[in-house]
Structure 1
Amino acid sequence: MVGPVGADAADIIATAQMAADAARVVTLRYFRGSNLNTTSKRTDFDPVTAADREAEQVMRDIITARRPDDAILGEEYGETAGTSGLTWVLDPIDGTRGFISGTPTWGVLIAVRDATRALYGIVDQPYIGERFAGGFGTATFNGPHNSHALVTASNVELSEAIIFTTFPEVGEAADAEGFQALAQHCKLTRYGMDCYAYALLAAGQVDLVVEAGLQTYDILGPLAVIEAAGGIVTDWKGGSAMQGGRVIAAANAEIHARALEILSKY
């Protein structure tokens, strides 16, 4: 399938940006407030807030109005069928635990995919006003202090690598074991950054992000941005990461191969 080009690609980008703008307004109205109306999806506390639900709904409304033939898959409201062959994948607040804790490391994730690949993605951090976007031949950062192209780091040595994860909060014991086996070869390990870690990788600040237990809406937005910036995102065996699961994001193919030598054993 040939991806959208020209006017259609421009319309996808414009629609995604509008959806991200609208989700910013909603999430900032709730962030660090007392009216979150938090519930849990599971007994082990998988939180969802009023902000999650309202932000996804406002994004759905914009996408449906502008692109009624596209499908939508969202974390909070599931799947709406379409006929165009394109699907919008939405995570209104990735990092809800961080959101309810007041840390500015959560984000709004938007992706557009066809049958085989992510075409365009956004990772937006409303509170600090940073937006990372990539696809259709561009990878861009826009923030309160500057705007520039996104380019991943060129480091290829594990001994100099900065590695991020959300472990031990996310994933099983065996997943954490694989991560620790890799992290012991790296220079610096940081935890608990959710989608913001992927944004930093796209910006050239870090070299590796390794996670497990992800859903497709957790990874598609970051995947599109990182690939557009020159990085690589796969599962721990080197296959597609589009459905989530165990994921490794790397700044370049060389450091990805070095890390995969370790992770693929787990």
Structure 2
Amino acid sequence: MQDFVEAAEAAAEAAGQVIRPLFRSALLVEAKGDASPVTEADRKAELAMRDLLRRRFPDHGIWGEEFGPERQEAEYLWVLDPIDGTRAFVTGRPLFGTLIGLLHRGRPVLGVIDQPGIGERWIGLAGERTRFRSPLGGAPGCRPCARLAEAELSCTSPDMFEPKDRPGFERLRAAARRVTWGGDCYGYGLLALGLVDVVAECTMKPWDWAALVPVLEGAGGRVTGWEGETLTLESDGRVLAVGDPALLAEAVDLLRN
């Protein structure tokens, strides 16, 4: 697996070399079909990662947000989001990140959350302790928090919830001590550092969550769907992450009941 970790870190570096010069610069922003912003940085960063991974592992599959799947049926599938949190990126806020996940027969076994603007990186590998590097300090590890009444809840935006999902989230929100908004993948990184306790979100694609699973589980947390089920490439986009596994049953009950 060390070859895979080295490749994932090299891909993160390649993406960062594209992204950093464009951060807080004048960018032409287009609209995707779902109206989310996409920039030159998204596309060029994904192409850089694809090229590197394709050369190192020609028999692996690649599925990226910008350019879709390639050899999706392969035993190993790299899942890429060059800029998770594009809205933060285009407005100059360093709460975005590059996500690099590796699935083995559909199961996430490697994940990298890279924040190229401030130089922070989380590395998760199945069965191993999550690693974290940052010029700001900090150590990986989810904190104990067995009751939602004591939990910090994080979510990217209230606008991401469809009408059928909003009641469940509102029940969870009411049970938590407090909720903070914004962050995209960075919120999950904070959960892995023991600074928040729960994240619940919807409309998540495989490239949004694949890298998060090994990072959070290697920090002691859990990542599931809203029913408490294992996430798969066929999941419905609803993601629940908890730092203390003792929170999972209570959170699932509120989300689905």
Please classify the TM superposition score into its range, dividing by the shorter chain length: over 0.9
Separation in 2, partners of 1:74, 1:67: 16
In structure 1, stretches of 5+ residues that fail to align are: 1-8
Report the CA distance shift for 1:146/1:68 in structure 2 as closer, same or farther (over 3 A).
same
Three-state SS of the structure 2 residue aligned to 1:128 is coil
Match of 2:240 in 1: 248
Q: Please, which of 255, 258, 262 is the counterpart of residue 254 of structure 2?
A: 262
- How far apart, in 1, do the equivalents of 2:84 and 2:23 lie? 13
Other-structure match for 1:231: 221
Q: Which residue of the other structure, out of 206, 220, 243, is the alignment partner of 2:210?
A: 220
Which among 7, 13, 18 is matched to residue 15 of structure 1?
Answer: 7
Give 2:51's aligned amino acid: D
Which aligned runs of 4 or more in structure 1 are off by greater than 6 angstroms? none
**TM-score, length-normalised on structure 1?**
0.91
Cα deviation for residue 220 of structure 1 reads 0.7
Would the aligned equivalents of 1:140 and 1:147 in 2 still touch at CA under 8 Å?
no
Q: Which of 79, 82, 86 is the aligned partner of 1:92?
A: 82
Q: CA RMSD in A?
A: 1.5
Kept after mapping to 2: 8 A contact 1:134/1:226? yes
Is the CA contact 1:152–1:204 (under 8 Å) kept in the aligned structure 2?
Answer: yes
Note the C-alpha offset of 1:191.
0.7
For residues 82-134 of structure 1, the C-alpha deviation after alignment (integer angstroms, 9 at most, x for no partner) is 77510000000001111111111111000000124100001111111110110
Residue in structure 2 matched with residue 115 of structure 1 by the alignment? 105
* One-letter identity of the residue aligned with 1:142: R
CA distance in 1, matches of 2:72, 2:213: 23
> Counterpart amino acid of 1:249?
A
Give aligned-pair identity as a percent.
39
2:154 maps to 1:151: no
Measure the CA separation in 2 of the matches of 1:28 and 1:217: 21
Check conservation: 2:82, 2:98, Cα contact below 8 A: yes
Residue 105 to residue 80, structure 1, CA distance change in 2 (3 Å): same
Q: Do structure 1's residue 78 and structure 2's residue 68 form an aligned pair?
A: yes
CA distance in 2 between counterparts of 1:168 and 1:145 reads 29
TM-score (norm 2): 0.94
- In the alignment, which residue of structure 2 is the partner of 1:3? none
Which one of the candidate residues 170, 187, 199 is aligned to 2:189? 199
TM-superposed CA distance for 1:228, in Å, is 1.4
Counterpart pick for 1:29 among 21, 25, 37: 21
* Distance in 2 of aligned mates of 1:88 and 1:45: 25
Moved more, 210-219 or 79-88: 79-88
Matched, 1:40 2:40: no
| CA distance in 2 between partners of 1:90 and 1:177 (Å) | 31
Q: Is the 8 Å Cα contact of residues 167 and 176 (structure 1) preserved in structure 2?
A: no
Out of 134-143 and 69-78, give the one that drifted further: 134-143
C-alpha distance in structure 1 between counterparts of 2:18 and 2:248, whole Å: 37
